Amino acid sequence: MRTYTKFILMSPVAVVFAGGLLFVGGCLSTPRDFSSPPASIRVIDQSGAPMSGLEVSRDWYDSDSGTHGSDEAVTDQTGSFHFAKVPAKVGLFTGAWEKTYSHLGMCAEGSGTYTELYVRFHGRYDVLPQGKPLHAVGHDGARQDLDGVWFSAHLDSGSNTLVNLTFPPKAKSIDYVLSAKPQAQ
């Protein structure tokens, strides 16, 4: 058989093989030992003094193991709270069958974790991450820092400022500081 004929016959095989590797690669998990990484949040006022007694919460979802949960707490006298790591044993093939099956449908689920932290202030505050400049992303006013953390602040139904931080799936630990200033009445 000539080289040209071999190339013509082997090209579709190579394309199918490469596509199969990409498909299977999307169905495998990144090995890790947590569903949600350890997370610390600290809140200070504009003078650097800690803000204690603020409601903080964490919501998390682990698409590989199909688990989710939430925690609620209050910042301590140092303006801080530490959420412990949510342990999980995620191996290379954890959830592979479910992800393979979902890739065959219209909506495929991702791989990894999803962790959000919320901080509720008592009243109206201007809040920004300390030492982490934000840039606008898209047209809906979304903002993100250079580490890939999504930041939003809005008022809840009681006119209290609620800050939402969404962390990248690959974050292995979270340590975040917010700086707040009361809005003029």
pLDDT along the chain (185 residues), means of 10: 66 57 47 72 94 94 78 95 78 49 47 83 94 85 88 91 89 90 84
Contact status, residue 26 vs residue 103, Cβ threshold 8 Å: yes
Q: What angle do CA 48, 53, 56 make, to 5 degrees?
A: 95
Pick from 87, 86, 79, 34: nearest CA to 58: 86
Are 60 and 115 within 8 A, CB to CB?
yes
Question: For residues 56 and 72, is the Cβ–Cβ distance under 8 A?
Answer: yes
pLDDT at 108: 45
* Closest to 168 in 3D by CA, of 185, 145, 152, 184: 145
What per-residue confidence (pLDDT) applies to 111?
Answer: 54
- What phi and psi, each to the nearest 5 degrees, are found at residue 14? -65, -40
φ, ψ dihedrals at 69, nearest 5°: -175, 180
User: What confidence score (pLDDT) does residue 170 get?
Assistant: 78
Please tell me whether the overall predicted TM-score, pTM, comes out greater than 0.85 for this model: no
User: Alpha-carbon distance 183 to 126, whole Å?
Assistant: 6
Spatial CB neighbours of 60, under 8 Å, sequence gap ≥ 6 = 35, 36, 68, 69, 70, 86, 113, 114, 115, 116
